[in-house]
Structure 1
Amino acid sequence: MPRDALRRAGVLLAAGVLLLAVVVLVGLLLTHVLVHGPVGHLDDVIERSLARSRTGLGNSLTFAGTQLAEPLNVEVALAVLVLLLAAVTRAVRPALFLAVTVIGESAIYFIASSTVPRDRPHVPRLGMGDPIASYPSGHAAASVCLYGALAVLAWRLTSRRALQVGLTIVAIVVPPLVGLCRMYRGFHHLTDIVVGLLLGVAWLAVTTRVLLPATTR
């Protein structure tokens, strides 16, 4: 493996471990300290309020919103997009960037979630899920990385302003929308969503800096 590739891999690994450590430490602080104070109270109040406001239409819309970052859907989209990028650009770096961004986030999320168990909100859930896998929100983090990476690629690889702006809007709107849908359906506390979004943003920033230098075209 070329020295430059080894260096980039090392930077990604180090950044991933650091991010994982931060997410785990925040999770431990949240589940052992903050959950017993105003932060935990706010989480509970918001979840109960959302549960009381449920309607048939809201249930259907939030189900659709959740599908935008459902793990199976993300995996299928990633596989298709990686193949398309490789075929269209005839280059390895863009496809590698997308794959590392999405898969790396999934790995960090999985380890963090397994290390810091947190009960789902104490409201009826609209769907199935591990009852102690509330922290952090993998859906929120995955949506940032998938749609954010596509927006980054649009700005780095094309000059089509409509595509650039369109994907940027999607990358800004979809993640918080997915987070709200997950909260509405009783799967996450607000703090889980916030940490998930920040994890996604941080990891996307790392992979962009390491794998897609500003000169990439």
Structure 2
Amino acid sequence: MAWTIILAVVLGVGWLITHALASSVDPWDNDTSRWFAGERTGDLNEVADVGTFLGETPVGMAVAAVVAAAASLWQRSVRPAAYFALLVAGIGGFYWVTTTLISRQRPPVRILDPGLVPDHSFPSGHVATAIAVYGGTALLCWWLAPRTRPWVWVLVLVPVFVALARLYQGAHHVTDVLTSVCYTTAWLAVVATTLLRRAPAAAQGSSAQGSSAGSASRAVTTG
């Protein structure tokens, strides 16, 4: 149900951007794309290639598979694997349906990522993959390993890097990227709330040990 609602919103936004609001959105989007193109240098081109690589679907799926397998083995539970499977399947569905029904041309600048489908600008699949995989990993670490919480923000920087890289390369308009940020974050929240809302096993174990120790202490005192 949640997936269908999010998809409907994404399609509605896509229709508005490409039809009703096109005359208002396109000039701003195109000017922003031209600004990014004007800032290009050889060194930045190579940096942007790295950002695009991190958001590639095969790379993201490989990272998700490794993290899911490691976390599932560690926890002896299929929950982490199910978590990533649902995340990945969801964003894949969003992208496929939206690019099939919404046609939007790429920005009017030289695109540095060759081979892209010309009218699949909306939304950004790379950004969606990055948020789902790296953002999803950050949430999983937050849930499973509380000690890593001061450092998980580093993973959150990866989707930001990917988004800037796609804008820099002229692959997407700003509104394409922002839409991906919004719908993938919403889907991540839905999946995390559904599958990660229980306390971590480690925390449960600590609580159980604490309760046992407390009971033993009370028994000794009573005795």
TM-score by length of 2: 0.85
Structure 2 partner of 1:170: 155
Structure 2 residue 184 is matched with structure 1 residue 200? yes
Task: Using the aligned pairs only, state the percent identity.
Answer: 35
Contact 2:137 2:155 in 1 (8 A): no
Equivalences for residues 2-81 of structure 1 within 5 A: 14-37=1-24, 39-81=25-67
Correspondence for 1:158 among 145, 148, 152: 145
Contact 1:118 1:135 in 2 (8 A): yes
Structure 2 residue 72 is matched with structure 1 residue 99? no
Which letter maps to 1:57? D
Q: Structure 1 runs of 4+ off > 4 angstroms?
A: none
Equivalences for residues 84-95 of structure 1 within 5 A: 84-95=70-81
SS of corresponding position for 2:69: helix
CA–CA separation in structure 2 for the residues paired with 1:41 and 1:114: 24
CA–CA separation in structure 2 for the residues paired with 1:30 and 1:89: 44
Question: What number of residue pairs does the alignment pair up?
Answer: 200
Structure 2 residue 117 is matched with structure 1 residue 130? yes
CA–CA separation in structure 1 for the residues paired with 2:150 and 2:41: 33
* Aligned-pair CA distance for 1:174: 1.8
CA–CA separation in structure 1 for the residues paired with 2:95 and 2:151: 28
Name which of structure 1's ranges 96-105 and 114-123 shifts more when overlaid on structure 2: 96-105
* Aligned-pair CA distance for 1:59: 0.5
CA–CA separation in structure 2 for the residues paired with 1:35 and 1:56: 33
Highest CA radius of gyration, 1 or 2?
2
CA–CA separation in structure 2 for the residues paired with 1:51 and 1:159: 41
Correspondence for 1:108 among 94, 99, 106: 94
CA–CA separation in structure 1 for the residues paired with 2:116 and 2:83: 30
Which letter maps to 1:168? W
* Aligned-pair CA distance for 1:216: 4.1
CA–CA separation in structure 2 for the residues paired with 1:198 and 1:151: 17
Structure 2 residue 176 is matched with structure 1 residue 189? no
SS of corresponding position for 1:68: helix
CA–CA separation in structure 2 for the residues paired with 1:189 and 1:91: 40
Task: Structure 2: give runs of 5+ residues left out of the alignment.
Answer: 202-223
TM-score by length of 1: 0.88
* Aligned-pair CA distance for 1:89: 1.3
String of CA shifts for 1:180-201, please: whole Å, max 9, x gaps. 1101101000000000000111
SS of corresponding position for 1:91: coil
Which letter maps to 1:142? T
Structure 2 partner of 1:4: none
